[in-house]
Every structure is written in structure tokens, then in C-alpha cells.
Structure 1
């Protein structure tokens, strides 16, 4: 039996690795295979990092999955339980559109946060440029054709203006005085 692992790295790239080859002599039972998989995961120290298990359609795999789910659940090692009792339906197309819109807005926040937090000594001129990018996104969002985006951005803009409203003038002055931002 070959046990492969799939994971996403910090750059959101999908990787696939062979974790182990496990010899399970015939006659194979679902319990034997479940034990082989669990022991492999435990040896690798990843038994509490399992999100999903995929198996082929062999008849004994029903027992494998049932045994592993029961073991993971008893040990509280399975982050996604068997089902969500309040789950009623899949997200609609509108829900997916809303998520896409939110991600586009949050992408700017992520980039700005990375610039500021990635700097050992973030100075006012660095902050001003990134804060301005966020302000532009929020201002554009208030004029969006999408009601969902307008409603979300409205709340964000109130908090943004409250927090940055008082100190933006000070940051602007320090940026104006920064000789690196002068045009020849």
C-alpha cells in the first residue's frame, strides 16, 4: 500500500509526496489497512494534521475509512468532523460572487500588511503609501455596483477613517519632507 500526502505550502502551491510504503500481507482486511495507515501517520507525527482521506473503491475501504474516522474522532484529532449538523445547502452562485469580491478587497490589505510588517523599520513614508492604497480600495468600494461590497466597505471605511483620520496629516507631512520622494 502506498500512502501519499497532499499539502499546500506557504505560497499556496499544492504538493504531493509519497509518505510511505506499507506492506499489508493478504488476506487484507479493512482493519489491517486502517492500522497500517494510522501507524504511518503516527510515525510521521501528522496524525493530528489530517484533513481528509481518499481511498479507491475497493470494498474493504469502507471499513478502513469508518475505522480511521472513529479513531480520529475518539482521539479528537480530526479537525473536520463527519458532518456539520446545521449544514443545509451548498453556497449559492451569489455567495461565491460575494466571496470573490471580498477576496479582491482583502488582497490589497494582505499586500499592504506584508510590506509594512516585512520591513524592520517601517517609516511614515512607507506607511502613507500603503495606507493610501487601502483608502483607495475602500473609496472605490463605496461606489461599487455590488450592494454586498458597498455594505461591507461602508463599515470598514468608518473604522478606517476613525483610526487613520487623525494621523494621516502627520504621515503626509513626513512623506513630503522625505527627500527620497522628491522628483528631480
Structure 2
């Protein structure tokens, strides 16, 4: 059997590829099985399937596939071992970190909360580590969330290392963060007494603003959605629509796409993808009596205006949703671009568009006043912008008097941050 095993190893690659000192280790193989199951989210029962066992035996007849219970226990042991490594890493770390958290409800009506830690390590590499993922017990109120998150922070030795906590704008999150900030400020753990601690999720703020726009043009969006679904519902209708496209000369590679209604960016992309095929939909309406959803010329024009308005939001959301590069310093420049779009479209002759812009500006003003410090401070640390951009752009968000007040407060906040970080560095070197 050993001779056959050596022959199989030789067949896997040239002799220089195979490690001549390789020795079979059942523990290594068992760990690789655990990694396979965890990384690919496979069921523990994979270990009991005969085809899988036969496959494993064909690779290495000496390896006995463990039972599903053993695989489960190994997974939990690896989880505990890695959690301990993360706890020890944070215990030794002297850097500040930031957190994000999100909660959602599954199809089984169960609430899940995920807490992620974001940091820059000693090699100046951006890292994110999921430190807690679990099912939240009801009720999902502020005090329950506060208790769970505080316990998590304490377990990972993060109380005195936190800088910011990014959450969406749900009222329960705001109430929770107030409890958490009060607790940490009393212990002297937060910089600037926690004034920069609560960071509101930028894409979520954009989402709230855009939802008003989509609500105002609900009938237009519904007609475009029904139109696309109509031509995609049957093969014969799809062929008929393709023939009409060829007749009217719509030469576009990308076909109209249906949105996922819970994601506003896909709802923006839906009319944006349908507008180039306007003439084809109009022709379909004349040829097929069953097609009753063709938007009117006024609705097409409204869709074009709305897409023009929402394009800036879509671009900003896509940029700020990145996970492999810093985004905090990009928020303010993108917000400035959106502000200019709103200023331009506020004088639109289309009353519906003008009303949409008005509602967006109300929400923007609300969130700006609540979080302008956390939005603007990161900009100063971007060598391309610094204070010059702030002084130039703040006047777009208020009067000259307000802009000067904001600028003064920002300079004081940054000076205090510098002083506190300098003190921390001094303490760590003593």
C-alpha cells in the first residue's frame, strides 16, 4: 500500500514540486477538512457521506474521515483557539480601533447581530476582524444591544482602544450608542469625551435621502419594473422585444434589468438601464395589446431627470462601500458633490423633481448638523485636502457665519485629538 501511495504522490507533480520530506499527518488532514467545511459553509454531515469518504480514501487511504460530531467539535475548538489569539492580539495592541455593527432578520424571523473591528496594523495594512456574530434574543431594544456589545468589547480588551462606532440611523442604534458612550466616557476611555464616537453610516444616510425620491416617482418606477418583467416573463415576449429592438435600432449591449426592491441602488439602475430602450418599449406598446405598462412621455422624462439626480448618490454609495481602502476621508468630498447636485436641481421646472430635492435637503441638513465633526475631521488628515478644502466647501452647507463657527470647532477638536494622542504616546513610552 505504501508503494502505491508513493506512486500516487509522484503522479501529483514533478519530483521538484512534491516535498521529499512529506509525511502523512492525520491531524493536519483533519484540520484541512475543518477549514474546508468552515470556509465553504458546508454542513458537518459532509463527513458522513459515502461519496466524500470514497473520494478522501482515493487520495489517501490512511486518512480516516472523522464523524460529523468530531468535525463539529474540531470546528468549535478551532473557533475558540482563534478567538483567544484575537483577544491576545488586542490585549497587546496599543492602536485605536473602530467598530461597525449591523443587525438583520432571517427568513426564520430570527435576529442576528454582527460586530466587526476595523484597524490599521503595525505594517500599515487595513484589517477587519469579525469579533462577534450571534443570534440576538428578543426584544431587540437598546438596552439588550448595549449589554451584548459592551460585553463583547470587554471580552476583546477594547474598552480603552475604541475610536469610533459606525451604525445605521435606526433609533434603537442611536439609543444604544448613547448608553455605550456614557459608560465609556465615565471610565475615561474615549477621545474628546466621545464626541466623535458615533459615526452614522454614509451609504445608509444616502439611502434614506434617496427613498424620498423613489417614493415621489413610485408610479414611474412601477411602470418601468412591470415593463421589464413583461418582456422577460415569456420566451416569446423576449424574442418579440428583441425583434423590436433590432427594428428601432437600439444598439446597446446591456439589457434592461429588474431591481431588487430592498436595494435602492438596483432600483436606480433599473430605469437607467431601461431609458435607452424607450423607443422599443413605445413600439411594443403599439404592437402588443397585452402590454399595459408603457410609461408615458412625461414619465420617461421624469425617469431621466431622476436618474440624473440619483447618479451622484449611486457613485458616492459605491465608493464609500469599499472595504479594501479607507473611506472616512472620502465622505465629505462626495457629500459636497451631492450638495452641488441638489443645489442645481432645486430650481428644476419639474415640480416633482423640485419637491424630491427639497425633501432630500431637509434630511441632509439634519444629518449634517448631527455629524459634521466626524465627517470633516478625517478630511484634514488627507494631504490632498487638509483645512483648505473645508474652508472652501463649508459655505455650501450654511451661511458664512455658520461655516466660520464649524471651522473653529473643527480646529479645536483636531488640536485636542493631537494633544490626547501625544499624551498616550508619552505614557506608552514610559
Pick the TM interval, shorter chain.
0.3 to 0.5
Q: Which structure has more RCO (C-alpha within 8 Å, separation ≥ 6)?
A: 1
Larger radius of gyration, structure 1 or 2?
A: 2
* Normalised TM-score (structure 2): 0.22
More helix by percentage: 2
* Normalised TM-score (structure 1): 0.48
